[in-house]
Amino acid sequence: MIYILLSICCSVIVSVMLKLAKRYSIDIFQAITWNYSVAIILTAIFLKPQLSNLTDAPVYTYSLLGVLLPALFVIIGASVRFMGIVRTDTAQRISLVIPLIAAFLFFGEAFTPVKFAGIAVGFVAMGLLLFRSHAPVAETKVTFPWLYPLLVFAGFGVIDILFKKLSQTTSITFGTSLFLVYVLAFVLSLAVLIYLVLIKKAKFLWMHILFGWMLGVANFGNILFYLLAHRALAHNPSLVFTTMNIGVITLGTLVGTIVFKEKTTWLNRIGIILAIIAVIIITYA
């Protein structure tokens, strides 16, 4: 269980760092770019990618993930800034209803009443989370701040589907796929960052780079400890899945409300409870 706890902590630390980025004038996109440089190194050390035979590599899926991962990271940063850690982390965790729908529509899985109930509860929870009757979390007002957690919800669902497709490629290990995806994400992000520097919209600064490296350690730690938890509890994967998702929602809610004084309405709090119920139902299904 220690691996699950460490994975939960790393996941919430990522959100906390994105929350603190504005306070310390950190360029989020630059931090996200350098985050992938550390993720590449740590993946090479701990997951031992095998790059000798890549003839069956799903290049299209790698490319999509290489674009979507950094783009979603930017959206998460905006969601944490404008809507807070509580809503962002909860939206991320209940995004699991999207691959459940995809499994039924595209992968031929049976659709049971229990699965339908889990999906329905998840969507109700998402709707209640988006309800906001007070000013945005950040000082800068935006027209539709609720779009950010909604995009987090949709984005994580799509990325989960793509990673499930990668898991079906038996000739290439997950560590190898993750390494290649991180390389693509870093190369594409760095190309955009260099362009922004050339047109003087950004500037290379050590504070952004160091922040990005710390972000990369926390981001990779989340994945590594999650994988180690599944290995340690190989005969009970549902325990890992449920504990991880509920743990992130719970810890994220505690940190958001106690440390950062984020305000939630009674409808939001019902949404958080329903999100936990949705996770349990889907695990059972």
Q: Give per-residue pLDDT as tens, 113-143.
A: 888 899 999 999 999 998 765 544 444 566 7
Q: What is the pLDDT of residue 193?
A: 96
Exposure string of 68-93, with b = 16+ CB inside 10 Å and e = fewer, is bbbbbbebbbbbbbbbbbbbbbbbbb
Measured CA to CA, the distance from residue 148 to residue 231 in angstroms comes to 34
**222, 265, 244, 276: which is closest to 83 by C-alpha?**
265
Average pLDDT for the chain: 90
Q: What is the pLDDT of residue 238?
A: 81
Measured CA to CA, the distance from residue 238 to residue 280 in angstroms comes to 9
Measured CA to CA, the distance from residue 201 to residue 117 in angstroms comes to 48
Measured CA to CA, the distance from residue 11 to residue 28 in angstroms comes to 17
The average pLDDT across 101-107 equals 79
Measured CA to CA, the distance from residue 204 to residue 202 in angstroms comes to 7
Other CB atoms within 10 Å distance of the CB of residue 200: 7
Measured CA to CA, the distance from residue 122 to residue 111 in angstroms comes to 16
Q: Residue 22: pLDDT band by 50, 70, 90 thresholds?
A: confident
Q: What are phi and psi of 216, to 5 degrees?
A: -65, -40
**33, 71, 27: which is closest to 201 by C-alpha?**
27
- Point out the least confidently predicted range of 16-25, 50-59, 73-82, 216-225: 50-59
Q: What is the pLDDT of residue 269?
A: 93
- Point out the least confidently predicted range of 195-209, 231-245, 266-280: 231-245
Write the pLDDT tens digit of every residue in 79-93: 999 999 999 999 999
* Domain coverage including residue 61: 2-284
Measured CA to CA, the distance from residue 34 to residue 1 in angstroms comes to 30
Q: Is the dihedral of CA 139, 144, 146, 148 positive or negative?
A: negative
**157, 21, 152: which is closest to 87 by C-alpha?**
152
Q: What is the pLDDT of residue 14?
A: 96
Q: What is the pLDDT of residue 104?
A: 79
Tally of domains in the chain: 1
Q: What is the maximum span of the chain, computed from C-alpha positions, in angstroms?
A: 55
Measured CA to CA, the distance from residue 277 to residue 7 in angstroms comes to 21
User: Tokens 């990369």 — which residue?
Assistant: 216
- CB contact at 8 A, 218 and 13: yes
Q: Bigger pLDDT: 196 or 167?
A: 196
